[in-house]
Structures are given as structure tokens and as C-alpha cells.
Amino acid sequence: MSPMKGQFVHLHTHSHYSLLDGLSKVDRLVELAKEYKMPAFAITDHGNMYGAIEFYKTAKKAGIKPILGVEAYIAERGRKDKEAGLDNKRYHLTLLAKNLQGYQNLIKLVTIANLEGYYYKPRMDKEVLRKYSEGIICLSGCLGGELSRTLANKDYEKADSVIKEHQEIFGKENYFLEIMKHTKLKEMKKYEIK
């Protein structure tokens, strides 16, 4: 029997390192995970991994398995495209390190996103994801993800191709559909992504 069987683990968490999106300090997140008896959880800050080492050390000390990740910004076209009004559009994609190789590849991806893809946000593209996908688990992303936006537009054929492309990049065994609980869905409708 797995030690985590039946236990909940957050795989998409923003800390105060997610500028204008996260408020929680790493040590407080770890305290809460311990309080709720979570065996593990992930930090997936927007476009960066600034808190990875602090999170890793704090979680390990508390006896919690740290899962290192990033909520990446994926350019709609290419990471080097920077045309006004076109390339400020991007998708979210949640990436988790499966092992040391995955962690090293996440660092490479985030670095490339900042050095080559920065346009409003640090952006990656599918070309660079293909190159550095080894050891990475991919979650389909939040409401800002390519799959979610495609489904919101009721383009089921394209949604199928998005899933197949991500499975091809990361491997079927490393691609998962991300689900989130939204308790106030009626209130959120006024903030729908267009």
C-alpha cells in the first residue's frame, strides 16, 4: 500500500514568489501542509522558480516531500516572436519535476523563457519544451491553459489535438488533466477568459 494512498496533495500552488498572484510565504505553506497531514505538495509559481530551494529545504525539514515546479507561460507563436498586439497572448501550463533531470530541465526552461522569450512575461514555446521535456510531468493547466481555453470555445477537435501534442512532448505517462474546484462559479462567469 502506498503511503500517500487516499491523501490529498496540492500540485498547483503559488507562493509569494508569484508576483501579483500569490501571497503565502513558503514557511506558512509548509506549516499548513503539515497541519493537514499532507505527505507532499508542489510549488508552481508563475514563470519562475525563485522559491524552489527555500521550499525544498523547509519541506524536507518538516518531513513533507517537496515537488518542484513552475506554472509556465507558453507563447502562442514562438518564444522569440515579439509583435505588439499579437505576442502578448500566452497560455499557462503546469510543469513538475519528476526527478533530478526534470528539475535541471525546468531550470533550463525558465532560464530560456527569461533570456529568449521575455515579452511582458517570461515565455517558453513548444520547440523548447520538446528539447527539455525529459523528467517533467505536465498538467494541462488552469483556466488560462491552452486546453481550457479551447474547451471554453467548444472546439473539441482542437482540444483533442492539444492533448495529443502534449502527450507527444512529455509522454502519455507524464501528462495529466488538471482539475480545480471552483465553489463560486456563477461569480467567476463575469471574469471569463476571452
Could you read off the pLDDT of 106-141 as tens digits, one per residue?
999 999 999 999 999 999 999 999 999 999 999 998
In a domain, 146, yes or no: yes
- Please name the amino acid found at residue 106: L
Q: What is the CATH number for 185?
A: 3.20.20.140
Reported residue count of the chain is 194
Structural domains of the chain, count: 1
Q: Which residue shows C-alpha cell 481555453? A: 149
In a domain, 15, yes or no: no
Burial of 29 (0-12, 13-18, 19+ CB in 10 A): buried
In a domain, 9, yes or no: no
C-alpha angle 6/22/175, rounded to 5°?
45
Range name among 6-15, 50-59, 85-94, 164-173 with the lowest pLDDT average: 6-15
Please tell me which residue, 75 or 20, carries the higher pLDDT value.
Answer: 75
**Segments forming the whole domain that contains residue 53:** 26-191
In a domain, 173, yes or no: yes
In a domain, 100, yes or no: yes
In a domain, 12, yes or no: no
